[in-house]
Homo-oligomer: A and B are copies of this chain.
Amino acid sequence: MPVSKQVTFTEQPNVNAATCPSRSVLEHITSRWGVLVLAALLEDGRRFSELRRIIGGVSEKMLAQTLQTLERDGFVHREAHPVIPPRVDYSLTEVGEQAARLVSGLARWSEAHVTGVLAAREAYDNRT
């Protein structure tokens, strides 16, 4: 790749970071709650309330929104059972599982290096 080219991940000229469509995919799967939802579903299919409990600190609104976004992108399958009380199961699709494995790998890498990063931060802060 020539030096003069922009970094766009699309190989198309004149497509900058802001308008690059793959950015939206990346943002959805690496979002604050997207990562945790994918990780939770990677282990097993879940109900809404299960997800809410397993992922600590997520509001109903954000969980619903995250699940809708991931469903719309084709990463999550939603199955509503017409029973009383309502029951909805969420699971990963084929591509969703690929995505989940990738972000999960990134998360595990972060976890493995968090000590070193914390040390680096302290060293950085302690230098005048």
Contacts and interface: CB of A to CB of B under 8 A. Distances in A.
A88 interface: no
Interface in A9-51: 9-10, 16-18, 21-23, 25-27, 29-30, 32-33, 35-36, 39-40, 43-44
A106 B103 contact: yes
A56 B114 contact: no
Interface in A80-122: 95, 98-99, 102-103, 105-111, 113-114, 116-121
- Chain A contact-residue range equals 35 or more
- Mostly, the A contact residues are helix
A17 to B, nearest CB: 5
Contact of A7 (B21, B27, B39): B39
Contacts of A54: 5-7
Shortest beta-carbon contacts, A-B, top 8: A16-B56, A74-B120, A25-B110, A30-B30, A22-B111, A18-B57, A22-B110, A72-B124
Given A8-B56, A30-B106, 9 more contacts: A7-B40, A17-B32, A17-B33, A18-B57, A22-B107, A25-B110, A25-B114, A30-B30, A95-B116
